[in-house]
Structure 1
């Protein structure tokens, strides 16, 4: 349920938790029972940030050893293609 900001002309600003389906209904001030105007404000995303770990955004120094590619998983054959059989020229 989102938290919305409202302004009463007599009492000032207040906040109200509302379902999105109830957004079009008029909201009355809790102290003077006058209809309040909804204010447009920036979303506050810091409420949800406590559940997730903060990422470390500081740059990391990378050494040349870390930049080298990992070793190959398969080794290359030392002499050509070992699975091929060489054929001698045919003599007629």
Structure 2
């Protein structure tokens, strides 16, 4: 069952576990028995330091170009191992 937050006009906000079927239904305040409405809030996020976050975003934003290792043998591709139907890379 998810945890939902409600707001009582008299007592303030409180949280309670409810089924998803009951999520949008108002409920009685546990302190004063007044009808309380559900509060819709943003999901909690864990923030990382901005430098490491921005570095990760920059690194993932653009693909890196990598050079192939040169092969010392001839340019003919021979299948010594692997799958014979694959073209050598």
Aligned-residue offset at 1:43: 1.2
1:63 alignment counterpart = none
> Aligned residues, how many?
63
Structure 1: gaps (5+ residues)? 47-54, 61-65, 78-92
Structure 2: unaligned runs, 5 residues or longer: 47-52, 60-64, 77-89
* TM-score relative to the length of structure 2: 0.50
**Aligned-residue offset at 1:17:** 2.2
Structure 1 moving runs of 4+ over 6 Å: none
Partner secondary structure for residue 43 of structure 1: coil
Q: Which structure 2 residues correspond to residues 70-89 of structure 1 after superposition, within 5 A?
A: 70-71=69-70, 75-77=74-76
1:15 match: secondary structure: strand
Shift of 1:76: 1.8
The 2-side partners of 1:18 and 1:70 are apart by: 59
What SS does the aligned partner of 2:15 have? strand
| Alpha-carbon distance in 1 for matches of 2:26, 2:9 | 14
Equivalence map 1:46-65=2 (5 Å): 46=46, 57=56
Please give the alpha-carbon distance, in whole angstroms, between the structure 2 residues aligned to 1:27 and 1:70.
Answer: 67
Structure number with bigger Rg: 1
Which position in structure 1 is the counterpart of 2:22?
22
Q: Residues of 2 paired with 1:26 and 1:58: CA distance?
A: 41
Q: 1:19 to 1:45 in 2, by over 3 A?
A: farther
Contact 2:28–2:35 (8 Å) recurs in 1: yes
